Amino acid sequence: MSVTQIPAGSTTAGIDHDLDCARRAFTSGRTRPLSWRVAQLEGLLRFIDDCEAGIAAAVCADLGRDPMATFMADIAPVRHEIRHTLANLAQWMKPERVRVSAATAPGQAWIVPEPKGVALILGAWNFPILLTLHPLVSCLAAGNAAVVKPSEISAATARYLSEQLPRYVDAEAVRLVLGDAEVSASLAGRPFDHTFFTGSTPVGRAVMAASARNLTPVTLELGGKSPVIVASDADVDVAARRIAWAKAVNAGQTCTAPDYVLVEESVRPALVERLLAELPLRGAQDSTRIVNDRHVARLRRILSTHGGEQYGGAIDESRRVVALGVDPSGTQRPLTCTGGLTFAGGPWNNYSTRAIATVVSRLRESPGTYGLVTANSGYLTKHAFGVYSTEPPVDGFRRENVQAEVDAEPTTTVAETHDGIAEIESWTVAFGRDGNPEKAFVAARVPGGARTLAVVTDSGDLRELAEAEMAGRRLRVEQSGTARLD
Strand 174-178 and strand 145-149: pairing? parallel
| Per-residue model confidence (pLDDT) at position 105 | 83
Give the CA distances from residue 152 to residues 160, 183, 202, 212, in Å, rounded to whole numbers and listed in that order.
Answer: 12, 10, 17, 24
Mean pLDDT (10-residue bins), the chain, 486 residues: 45 80 96 97 97 94 88 93 96 92 87 95 94 96 96 93 93 92 91 93 90 94 79 89 84 79 83 81 63 72 58 56 56 37 42 51 71 46 48 56 69 88 87 82 90 92 84 90 93
Helix axes 76-92, 130-141, angle to 10 degrees: 10
For residue 181, the 8-state DSSP code is H
Q: Which residues contact 72 (CB under 8 A, 6 or more apart)?
A: none
Q: Dihedral sign for Cα 285, 287, 290, 291, please.
A: negative
Query: How many CB atoms lie under 10 A from the CB of residue 305?
Result: 15
Query: How many CB atoms lie under 10 A from the CB of residue 204?
Result: 19
Structural domains in the chain, sorted by start: 2-222 (3.40.605.10), 227-352 (3.40.309.10), 364-408 (no CATH), 420-485 (2.40.50.840)
List, as one string, the DSSP characters of 390-443: SS--TT--S-S--HHHHHHS----B-S---EEEEEEEEEEEE-TTSSEEEEEEE
- Which burial class, exposed, middle or buried, applies to 417 when counting CB atoms under 10 A from its CB (0-12, 13-18, 19+)? exposed
Cα(428)–Cα(407) distance, integer angstroms: 27
Strand, helix or coil for residue 302: helix
Q: What pTM did the predictor assign? A: 0.65
Cite the active site residues: 221, 255
